[in-house]
Chains A and B, each alone.
Chain A
């Protein structure tokens, strides 16, 4: 510890400037998911064409509306927060909680890897445009992951200005591109002839297949559904905040689709690494190109930073609960960060970022997220059955139960089928991984779990027990 002088006089009162209003908070809530507009979503167009990409975007919006409704109800009762992981501990049991913890870690780690790949790809593209083709992407991928992991390890304070600059640029870039193209600033006019000449190149199966990548627009939006825990009641802000976020993303996603589909032939768009940046290139405007370059870099870095934070904390929590070796439950004595979890997950992110193509890494992330959404369906049914309305205090009760649950289950099943159509091997590999991990947990790890600590809510005995 460092000794400092004790102030002798009356301490000077400091006032922090209240910069952020409700609109900022709403916008920032969406900010973490905004990266989905900058990359990954366009693979849905490759799966089924332009129309399929738009349908996937809207159907995925419906899926996430169900997720938000269900998640808000359960989160408003589990006061201790912790998201689906805490919900699984209280409502289903340790094996489910272990799996949900893994889903979270894998979703975020794969998303982090996808962000790093995008940064490498973008720098390679820009270098090529400047006449330095053949840039090695790997050093930039490694540098991005290592630098952000170091920031997370140190718990470095980013500044409010920095936050706002990043968000503003990432948002403004999309809107500027949309407006510029609408006002005729593009060298190439918008061309939607493929909508009539080749509306569904792979038929309706293509529409189903495209749902897989349609989820990418919104992946992680449920993370904004945070419990304002401890004292403030989360009751009303949870569903409204998340719904507002989904509506914003629906509009942004449709705008993104409109500009990109109008400027870039769907056959190319369906496999582009950075669709918005590519649209800016096609427009021929240097200003737009710079803006979209900066927007892509900022949104991917911000997203990767959040992913490292969330994945390491989920891993840390599992270590604390003895679902994993308790060694992972350590906190850095100086920086107060889960440093062992952060360091452990770095090579995993690197392996995927360096060894797998973007669409496959995105698929792994989406699959883990999808497994988490599927868990929500039967978690909700169990929750309502075990603790019917009126037995425990709920901050928010979602309407029309069980309709949202059934809709979510049907959409999840459709999305699995969609993944199977294009990435059957990855689907089997991922499910196989979770089965092996579950067997390890059941037969080897469960004996170390602090079973008494699992259920801490003062809820009445569940119905039927």
Chain B
């Protein structure tokens, strides 16, 4: 009799946990899908899709017609650190610029699988920001270009939320911290749960403004170089 009672209890407990787990997993995924809902109001012609990792991606245009991609990346790869939710903005140029590819990464650990900076071949002196920095390029930057970019990066990375900035002839990309994982959920079961329902529109606008200012600076630099060459 005790055996049957125990068996029934075990099966009932397991069934409850599984049912509850499936239901709450679905809820968590649904919450994830809505994280970039506010981004659709920030850019023109927004198109929202869901990436395979169940995080949303928004494509759209900024006011001058350039295409922009807004993504979220959950980073759980660094041991003994809380999970990070990165907001990645990619501003695509209409006309390819002539400048070099250069990027800077704040607080590098080597485990930033999403970073473009680690893949660039040339090591460059990083800007002084008071925190650890990595700056690398494709080797085409002149000393003057590198110095100007360093100054620019130094200003941008004064914002501690900024993780990475990369400029290429075709686009400007930057990543900022959108949220940090809940400590308890991560410590106990190594889960990735972010305490926000949607990334605020202001945070997205601010990141886009940073990308645009960086892009504008590079365009002005291009014009100055062309003028000087002429």
Residues of A within 8 A of B (CB): 1-4, 6-7, 10-11, 13-16, 18, 20, 24-25, 28-29, 31-32, 75, 79-83, 85-86, 104, 130-131, 155-163, 165-167, 223-232, 286, 290, 294, 302, 305-306, 309-310, 313-314, 316-317, 320-321, 329, 331, 333-338, 450, 452-453, 456-458
Contact = CB atoms under 8 A, between A and B. Distances in A.
Nearest to B195: A16
Contact of A286 (B2, B20, B160, B182): B2
Given A80-B132, A305-B189, A453-B110, 14 more contacts: A1-B57, A16-B31, A31-B188, A79-B131, A80-B78, A82-B80, A159-B24, A229-B81, A231-B180, A286-B6, A306-B189, A320-B110, A331-B77, A336-B53
Given A229-B81, A310-B190, A336 B49 contact: no
A158 B161 contact: no
B80 A81 contact: yes
B191 to A, nearest CB: 5
Given A162-B24, A226-B187, A231-B177, A313 B52 contact: no
Interface stretch (B40-48, B144-152, B165-173, B215-223): B40-48
10 contacts: A16-B195, A16-B197, A29-B183, A79-B131, A82-B81, A165-B17, A229-B82, A230-B107, A232-B180, A458-B128
A320 B21 CA distance: 33
A273 B127 CA distance: 56
Nearest to B198: A11
B49 A131 contact: no
A249 B78 CA distance: 26
A94 B185 CA distance: 32
Nearest to A321: B110
B111 A320 contact: yes
B72 to A, nearest CB: 11
Given A231-B161, A456-B132, A458-B133, A334 B52 contact: yes
B158 interface: no
Interface of B: 2-3, 6, 9, 13, 17, 20-21, 24-25, 28-29, 31, 33-34, 37-38, 40-41, 46-53, 57, 73-74, 76-82, 84, 107-111, 113, 118, 123, 128-134, 160-161, 163, 177, 180, 182-185, 187-193, 195-198
Residue from the set B189, B192, B196 with the largest chain A CB neighbour count within 10 Å: B189
A162 B19 CA distance: 11
Contacts of A7: 37, 40, 48
A157 B192 contact: yes
A316 B77 contact: yes
A437 to B, nearest CB: 19
Contacts of A160: 24, 185, 193
**Chain B binding site: helix, strand, loop or mixed by DSSP?**
mixed
B24 A161 contact: yes
B132 A457 contact: yes
Contact of A228 (B46, B131, B183): B183
A163 B129 CA distance: 39
Closest 5 CB pairs of A and B: A14-B197, A81-B81, A159-B24, A11-B37, A83-B80
A1 to B, nearest CB: 5
A15 B31 CA distance: 10
Nearest to B49: A1
Nearest to A393: B130
A414 B70 CA distance: 56
Contacts of B51: 1
A231 B109 contact: no
A157 B29 CA distance: 8
Nearest to B184: A28
A306 B192 contact: no
A79 B128 CA distance: 15
Contacts of A310: 79, 190
A31 B187 contact: yes
B38 A228 contact: no
Nearest to B22: A159
A317 B110 contact: yes
Given A306-B190, A309-B190, A290 B9 contact: yes
Contacts of B37: 7, 11
A157 B28 CA distance: 8
A281 to B, nearest CB: 13
A71 B210 CA distance: 37
Contacts of B25: 156-159
A130 B29 CA distance: 41
Contacts of B195: 16, 18
B80 A223 contact: yes
Given A11-B34, A159-B20, A227-B81, A80 B133 contact: no
B187 A32 contact: yes
